[in-house]
Amino acid sequence: MITLDLLLSKPDLHTNTIFVLRHPDDLPAGLVNTEEAGYIRRSLEDKNTTTVEINRYDYVWYFVFPADVAGESLQLEKARKTGDILVKEISRLKVPEITVYNHSADAEWCMALAEGMTLGGYQFLKYKTDRDEKLIRLNTIKIWSEGLNNRQIMMKNRLNEAVYMCRDFVNEPVINLSATQLAEGISELLSTTGIKTEIFNKKKIESLKMGGLLAVNRGSSEPPTFTVLEWKPENAVNENPVILVGKGVTFDTGGMNIKTGSFMDHMKTDMTGAATMASVIYAAAATRLPVYVIALLPATDNRINSDAVVSGDVIEMHSGKTVEILNTDAEGRLILADALSYAQNYNPMLVITAATLTGSAARAIGRFGIVAMQAKASEQMQLLKECGEDVYERIAEFPFWDEYAELIKSDIADLKNVGPLEGGAITAGKFLEAFTNYPFIHLDIAGTSYAEKRDSYRNQGATGTGVRLLFSFLAKVAGKA
């Protein structure tokens, strides 16, 4: 990973450096010659650009001028995007480090620039045989800026690690990521953080009567897992935990209602919710956030064999409620529902789900935001929305009216697992709500989890969207942001 390193004394500037300046009039005295100064000014006027490169042969200087866009959220997003452009430029130099020298801009803007560089510099090269040639050599960004301290830099490094971790899991194909491999992989990565990890195997899941998870798993030759992660620091601000529940469908074929055409292409990403929640709790523990957090990660693939569930089957859930399965492709809500009723044991202050739950959410707002719903958690939702603006992982809150719950009542069981086509993201949320008795926020990340084409620092493939959002939320709950 590309890590950030805070410089405590002014660095030697005659090396590869990114200068961040409010205005060309601010150019440090004596740094550039008149010709270069003229070039910088002309470039800024001519090309509608905010970045100017000066190549001095032994080293390269980049001059970056934060654009004058309205609003802090957009300013910071522009910084991240500029970071992404710069990291691509710098990777051509094949140098291991670069200095960011903040001459006259906001420290926060520089941090966002560096964040965009690190996240834009993510690569998933595991399966490329020419990975050595493709590998970006840059591994350190040295920052010199007033108004930054080591703790902020450490927090950003840990958070960036968490985003990398999430992307790595999501990009991994199911051939190397069964439910067991996912659970064990997470447990291994968290082993140094002080997080308590417990992986329930199929026998334990059966003894807990998690009928939803077991029903989805029936068509699979791989056993399911249910992972419980706990970060409980002594100085936690909350007595009752915040619980993060993540959908861990390691591959979604659709089951008997099989996905046709290209709809199955990216379904290795259907465990993004689980990867997101594991990464968020990792970041919380690695930065020692004083907040009590639990993550619950039900996991299985959704496949077909002669034992697979079919339409019309009625199952009994962990909560005791019965569900008529009318579409085997609506499997995520079945495994999440068991985790949500299990969460009741902890008397949580808030439960948040993250799930690639419905195509309906993605169709409604595309890839530009996360679809969210809440019950008994309007204040927390407000806070989450603010975090969404800060980190530019924005939230669109959907209505969550009682009428939608009417649409998933079954003729022969308590609930059915699908409603009508219209409002599909909301009826899925209502299904989940039926298994809760606490403040609840549901995030449908189907639209944001994966970028078909490269989307700036969000990269191509797994984006890790949701990790920065929820970390920022937990940091606010902990009073550390």
The helix (run of H) or strand (run of E) holding residue 301 is strand 293-302
Whole-number Å distance between alpha carbons of 73 and 272: 25
Q: Spell out the residues 6+ positions from residue 275 whose beta carbon is closer than 8 angstroms to its own.
A: 165, 166, 169, 170, 182, 246, 248, 462
CA 462 to chain centre: 9
91 binds ligand BES (CB under 6 A): no
The answer to whether the beta carbons of residues 66 and 22 sit under 8 Å apart is yes
Whole-number Å distance between alpha carbons of 278 and 296: 9
* Contact pick of 360, 436, 459, 472 for ligand BES (by CB under 6 A): 360
Rounded to a whole number of angstroms, the minimum distance from the CB of residue 127 to ligand BES is 22
Q: Which residues on adjacent β-strands are paired with residue 375?
A: 440
The helix (run of H) or strand (run of E) holding residue 405 is helix 402-406
270 binds ligand BES (CB under 6 A): yes
329 binds Zn ion (CB under 5 A): yes
3 binds ligand BES (CB under 6 A): no
* Contact pick of 332, 388, 423, 439 for ligand BES (by CB under 6 A): 332
Rounded to a whole number of angstroms, the minimum distance from the CB of residue 426 to ligand BES is 11
Which region, judged by CB under 6 A, interacts with ligand BES, from 47-55, 86-94, 359-367, 407-415? Answer: 359-367
338 binds Zn ion (CB under 5 A): no
CB-based closest residue to ligand BES: 359
444 binds ligand BES (CB under 6 A): no
Q: Spell out the residues 6+ positions from residue 340 whose beta carbon is closer than 8 angstroms to its own.
A: 245, 351, 353, 432, 435, 436, 440
* Contact pick of 152, 359, 389, 396 for ligand BES (by CB under 6 A): 359
Q: Nearest 5°: phi and psi at 401?
A: -70, 155
Q: Nearest 5°: phi and psi at 125?
A: -110, 5
* Contact pick of 98, 362, 441, 443 for ligand BES (by CB under 6 A): 362
Query: How large is the C-alpha radius of gyration of the chain?
Result: 24
Which region, judged by CB under 6 A, interacts with ligand BES, from 68-76, 228-236, 352-360, 379-387? Answer: 352-360
The answer to whether the beta carbons of residues 429 and 400 sit under 8 Å apart is yes
Whole-number Å distance between alpha carbons of 431 and 308: 22
Whole-number Å distance between alpha carbons of 110 and 193: 28
Per-residue binding letters, 268-297, with Zn ion (x by CB under 5 A): --x---------------------------
172 binds Zn ion (CB under 5 A): no
Of 221-260, binders to ligand BES (CB under 6 A) are: 252
Q: Which does 446 bind (CB under 5 to 8 A by kind): ligand BES, Zn ion, none?
A: ligand BES
Rounded to a whole number of angstroms, the minimum distance from the CB of residue 431 to ligand BES is 10
Query: Cβ closer to Zn ion: 331 or 393?
Result: 331
Residues with active-site annotation: 259, 333
Query: Cβ closer to ligand BES: 91 or 358?
Result: 358
Q: Which two tokens stand for residue 244?
A: 């993060």
Q: Which residues bind to ligand BES, rule: CB under 6 A? A: 252, 270, 327, 329-332, 356, 358-360, 362, 418, 424, 446
Q: Which residues bind to Zn ion, rule: CB under 5 A? A: 249, 252, 270, 329, 331-332
